Amino acid sequence: MSRLGKITRRTLLVGAVAVAGGAAFGVYQVRRPVENPLRPEEGATLNPYVIIDQAGIRIIAPRAEMGQGVHTTLAALVAEELDAEWESVRVLHGPPAAAYFNGALAHGALPVADYAMRDWQRNLTEGIGAATKLLGLQVTGGSTSTVDAFERMRLAGAGAREALKTVASGRLGVDVERLRTEAGRVIAPDGTEIDYRELAEEAATRPVPRVELRPASEWKLLGRSLPRSDMRAKATGSAQFSTDIVLEGMKFATVRICPHHGGGMASFDPAPALEVPGVEQVLDLGNGVAVIARNTWAAMHGAEAVEIDWTPSPLPATTEAMYDQIAQAFDARRNSRMRNDGRPEDQTAQIEVEYRVPFLAHSTMEPMGATAWLKDGHLTLWVGNQAPREHEKVAAEAAGVAREHVTLHTVFLGGGFGRRVETDVTRQAARIAAMLPGTPIRLTWSREEDMRHDFYRPAAIARMRGAVENGRATLFDAKIAAPSVTQQAIGRLTGRSMGGPDKGHVEGAFDQPYAIPHYRVAGHLADLDVPIGFWRAVGNSFNGFFHESFIDELAHAAEADPLQFRLDHIAPESPVAAGVLEAVRDLSGWGERLRAGTGRGVAMTWSFGTPTAVVIDLEREDGQIRTARAYMACDPGLVLDHAIVRAQMESGLIYGLSAALMGEITFTDGRADQGNFPDYDALRMHNTPQIEVAILQNNPHMGGVGEPGTPPAMPALANALFDLTGERVRSLPLQNHAEFLV
C-alpha cells in the first residue's frame, strides 16, 4: 500500500464541520469538488467518511454495494481506528463527489503486468500521464475498492477519534495521551466515560491532530469475518433497490427501445397500448417509447402493445458475419504488442489453432431500473449505480436542470458486474420525470429489455501459435481480435477518446507470469459497433480462457502433467503465483487416481492483482456431464475479511462457469436473439459444483477479490472437458459441444 501511503500522507487534511447536534468529518469537502486530488495546495482532503450526530455514527462507504460486501469492509476500515461499536454503525453510500475518486483504478491503467510491477511504479501510478483520464472517477469496478480505501479510510477513522479525544481532554482536564477510546466512547483513567455523540459538535470546531495508523497486530475488526452491515435488511426484504422507493402519487413506467442496435423508430401508434387497462400515457423517446401506467405490469403490457416501425440496424445481419468482421482486424495493423519476448517470428509453430468466445450479457438479477422525481425544478433520483458522478451529470442533462439541482441517492444494486457503470437507465428515468414534472416515476425494465439492451462482454477471436521442446514451452505467440471495451466504455464514461495501446484488450494474456523464451501477445481492435462494456473481469474473462486453454494444449503436446507444466514455467517468474498452484494441487489431491468417468482440469490466471488457480472435476452421470467439484486457491495478499473474500471467490467462479457452460448472446439483424433466462441461463443450486477455497496471504501487494475468480473458471472447465473426452473445445459455450447437466 505504499503507493497510496505516500499520496495520502502528503495530502490528508482531516477536517470537520458541525451538523445538527454533531459533526461531519470532512463533509465540507464533499461540497467542494477538487479537480486533482493530488494537489494539496487546493485543499484536497480524502476524508469525507464519518458523520457523528445524536443518532449515532454513520460511515460513508462511497462504493457501490452490489453484493461484494464492500460496505462492510470499507466501514470496518473506519470503525477500526475510530473505536466504534460495529453493531451500532450505520453504513451509507454517500453522495456523488470528486473527493470519492477511485485512485486504485489508475493503477490498472499502467502498461505493465501487475506481477512484474516495481515498487517505484506502484508509488508513481497516480502521477503517470497514462492514468490521468481515469482520475476523478468515482467508479466501483476493477476490483479496486478495498485497495483504494485501505489507508484513506483508516486515516479518516483515526482523525475523527483524535478530534473527539481532544475535546474530551479539555472537558475532563486530562491529557489526551491518558485517554483511551472504546465502543464509541472516550474513557478517562478514573473510568469517566463520554459518548462520542456528546463530543462531536465541539469536535467539529477543532483542527484535527496528526494521526498515526495502528499496526495490524492491534486490529480488532479487520482480519475478522464481520457480520455484514447489509445482511439483516437482505434477509427481511427491507433492503431498498432502485425500484423499491415508495412515493405518494407515483406512476409506473417501462420503456421499449429499438432492439436493433444502431436502429431507431420510424413511427409508432400508441392506440393499442392506451386500451390496456391501467395504461395512462405513451411517451415518445425518439428511438422508442415509454409507457406510463398505474402499475408496472400494465406498463409492460402497454409497451408490448404499441405498434412500432423500427428502422434497421447497420450491424452485420448475422453473428457469423460479426465474427468475420472481428477476424478482419487480424489483417490490419496491431493496436498493441505488450509482450514481445525472444524472437517468436523466427520460431516454427507445432500447433496453430484458433479460439473464439461469444458476446455475453451481464444478466444482473435485478433488471435495470430507477426512480426519479422532478419537483419544483429539482430532480431527485434513486438508482443503484457504479459511477454516481457520471449518473448525476447525465441525469441533469436529460432533465434539463443544472447539476446542483440534482440529488442522486445510490441504493443497493441487484448485481452490477460492470453493467451499472452505464448511465442509460438513469438518462431515461430523468427524461421521463422531466416530461411529467411533479410526478414521481418508478421505471422498471422488463427482463427482455434488459437482455436486449445490454453493453455486452465482446466476442473475441484468438489465433495462437505454439511449440514445445524437452517438456517445456518454447513458443507462445497470440494474436487477439475483439472490439475495444476500453474505447467504448471509458469513452462513454469520460467523454474522451482513449487512444494508444489498449491494455484492457489484452489483459489476462500479455501479463501472465510464465517464463517462456519466445512469448508474444498482440492485440488487434475490431471495428464493430455492437454496444459493449465492462463485464466481470472483462478482458481477462476471454484472454484467461485463450491463454490457459492454450497452455493446456502445450502441456499436452509436451506430454507433461498440466499442473506441473504450469508450475515449471511459473515458479521462475512468480513464487506467489506458484504458491496458488501448489495450494490448489494439495487441496484437490491432484495426481491421485480418479475414478472412471471423471475428468479434471486446471487453470491459473493473474488478474486484478490476485493470482487465482482453479481445478474442476467433471463426472459423467446418466449420459450427462456434471460439474461436480471446484477447488480454488487465491492470494490477494492481506485479507481483511475471510468470509467475504471466500464468498467473492465462489461468486466469481460461478459467474465464470455459468458463462463458459451456457452463456451466449447471438444477433439477428442487430437484435439479440436471447431475451430471458430460458434462453440465457446460469448455474443453479442443482448444477453448481461443491466448492473448496484456499486463501493465501503471501502476496506482498493487496489485490482485488470481486473478479479474479471468474477468468480461471472458464479454462479450468474446458480443460477438464478435454481430460474427460479427449477433444479440445476451442469455442464457448461448452454446452454447444457436449451434453452438460443444465
Q: Which three cell numbers stand for residue 620?
A: 459423467
163 φ, ψ to 5°? -65, -45
Nearer to other proteins by Cβ, of 238 and 267: the residue is: 238
Interface with other proteins, residue 440, by CB under 8 A: no
The pairing of beta strand 251-257 with beta strand 307-310: unpaired
Interface with other proteins, residue 605, by CB under 8 A: no
C-alpha 740/C-alpha 742 separation (Å) is 6
Interface with other proteins, residue 446, by CB under 8 A: yes
Concatenated DSSP letters of 237-275: T----TT----TT-EEEEEEE-SSTT--EEEEE-HHHHT
Interface with other proteins, residue 682, by CB under 8 A: yes
C-alpha 45/C-alpha 127 separation (Å) is 17
Query: From the list 677, 697, 727, 736, which residue makes contact with other proteins (rule: CB under 8 A)?
Result: 677
Closest contact distance (angstroms) between CB of 278 and other proteins is 6
Query: From the list 416, 508, 609, 703, which residue makes contact with other proteins (rule: CB under 8 A)?
Result: 416
Interface with other proteins, residue 87, by CB under 8 A: no
Closest contact distance (angstroms) between CB of 388 and other proteins is 18
Nearer to other proteins by Cβ, of 251 and 503: the residue is: 251
Closest contact distance (angstroms) between CB of 448 and other proteins is 8
Beta bridge partner(s), residue 310: 265
Closest contact distance (angstroms) between CB of 653 and other proteins is 7
C-alpha 106/C-alpha 139 separation (Å) is 11
Closest contact distance (angstroms) between CB of 654 and other proteins is 3
CB 440 within 8 A of CB 250: yes
Q: Which three cell numbers stand for residue 232?
A: 439483516
Interface with other proteins, residue 684, by CB under 8 A: yes
Per-residue x/- marks for other proteins, 618-657, CB under 8 A?
A: -------------------------x---x--xx-xxx--
Assign residue 308 a region (left: φ > 0; alpha: ψ between -120 and 50; beta: otherwise).
beta
Span interacting with other proteins, options 66-74, 123-131, 167-175, 315-323, rule CB under 8 A? 66-74
Closest contact distance (angstroms) between CB of 737 and other proteins is 23
Closest contact distance (angstroms) between CB of 67 and other proteins is 3
Nearer to other proteins by Cβ, of 399 and 659: the residue is: 659
Nearer to other proteins by Cβ, of 315 and 654: the residue is: 654
Q: Which three cell numbers stand for residue 572?
A: 521462475
Nearer to other proteins by Cβ, of 525 and 683: the residue is: 683
Kindly state the number of chain residues that form the binding site for other proteins, as judged by CB under 8 A. 66
Closest contact distance (angstroms) between CB of 365 and other proteins is 4
Q: How far is CA 387 from CA 367, 419, 431, 456, 518, in A?
A: 17, 10, 19, 18, 41
Span interacting with other proteins, options 165-173, 438-446, 486-494, 568-576, rule CB under 8 A? 438-446
First to last CA, the chain: 43
Closest contact distance (angstroms) between CB of 516 and other proteins is 33
257 φ, ψ to 5°? -105, 155
Interface with other proteins, residue 546, by CB under 8 A: no
Q: Which three cell numbers stand for residue 347?
A: 520460431
Closest contact distance (angstroms) between CB of 18 and other proteins is 34
Closest contact distance (angstroms) between CB of 410 and other proteins is 14
Query: Which of these, 607, 292, 304, 621, lies nearest to 440 by C-alpha position?
Result: 292
Q: Which of residues 335-364 bind other proteins (CB under 8 A)?
A: 363-364
Q: Which three cell numbers stand for residue 494?
A: 469520460
The rounded radius of gyration (Å) of the Cα atoms in the chain is 27
Nearer to other proteins by Cβ, of 20 and 246: the residue is: 246
Nearer to other proteins by Cβ, of 165 and 362: the residue is: 362
Alpha helices in 381-446 (DSSP H): 388-399, 424-435
Nearer to other proteins by Cβ, of 107 and 629: the residue is: 629
Q: Which three cell numbers stand for residue 630?
A: 471446484
Closest contact distance (angstroms) between CB of 622 and other proteins is 14
Interface with other proteins, residue 533, by CB under 8 A: no
Which residue do the cell numbers 437482455 mark? 451
Angle between helices 145-172 and 2-11 (to 10 degrees): 40
Per-residue x/- marks for other proteins, 218-247, CB under 8 A?
A: -------x-xx-xxxxxxxxxxxx-xx-x-
Concatenated DSSP letters of 161-197: HHHHHHHHHHHHT--GGG-EEETTEEE-TTS-EEEHH
Q: Which three cell numbers stand for residue 370?
A: 430507477
Alpha helices in 400-536 (DSSP H): 424-435, 447-452, 485, 491-494, 503-506
Per-residue x/- marks for other proteins, 246-265, CB under 8 A?
A: x-----x-------------
Q: Which residues contribute to the site for other proteins (CB under 8 A)?
A: 66-69, 225, 227-228, 230-241, 243-244, 246, 252, 277-278, 294-298, 300, 363-367, 412-417, 442, 444, 446-447, 643, 647, 650-651, 653-655, 658, 676-678, 681-686, 688, 690-691
